[in-house]
Amino acid sequence: MKITVKRRKYIVRYHHHFPYRTATTCFIQNARGQTIGEGFAECSEKDNYCKATGKKVALTKALRNMSPESKEDRAAFWQAIWKEREMISQKKWTV
């Protein structure tokens, strides 16, 4: 997924390790394709695997790893991701 935060372009990618392992990895890359943040979320054996929850936890850890300067920067990143997700879901349902 490509997003823009404060005029900077980023690529957010997810890798789901299912069914062999119930885990999700999130990679945040800059416009040149260099990984600048990475997060990993693993589901407990007692829980049901959920891609949405894995994405959220892995992205949170990737943002922490990337360490945006302030809370406002992290909030802007989340807003850009939610905005992009809305656009993608609208495109899927248009005829």
DSSP string of 16-85?
E-TTTS-EEEEEEEETTS-EEEEEEEE--TTSPP-HHHHHHHHHHHHHHHH--SSHHHHHHHHHHHHHHH
Question: Sorting pLDDT into bands at 50, 70 and 90, what band is 69?
Answer: low
Q: Over 60: is that where the pLDDT of 92 sits? A: no
Stretch 59-83: mean pLDDT: 83
Q: What's the whole-model pTM score?
A: 0.79
Stretch 52-58: mean pLDDT: 89
Q: Tell me, what's the pLDDT at 41?
A: 92
At a CB cut-off of 8 Å and minimum separation 6, what does 67 contact?
A: none
The per-residue pLDDT for range 24-51, each reduced to its tens digit, is 999 999 999 999 899 999 988 888 888 8
What residues pair up with 22 in beta bridges, in sequence order?
Answer: none
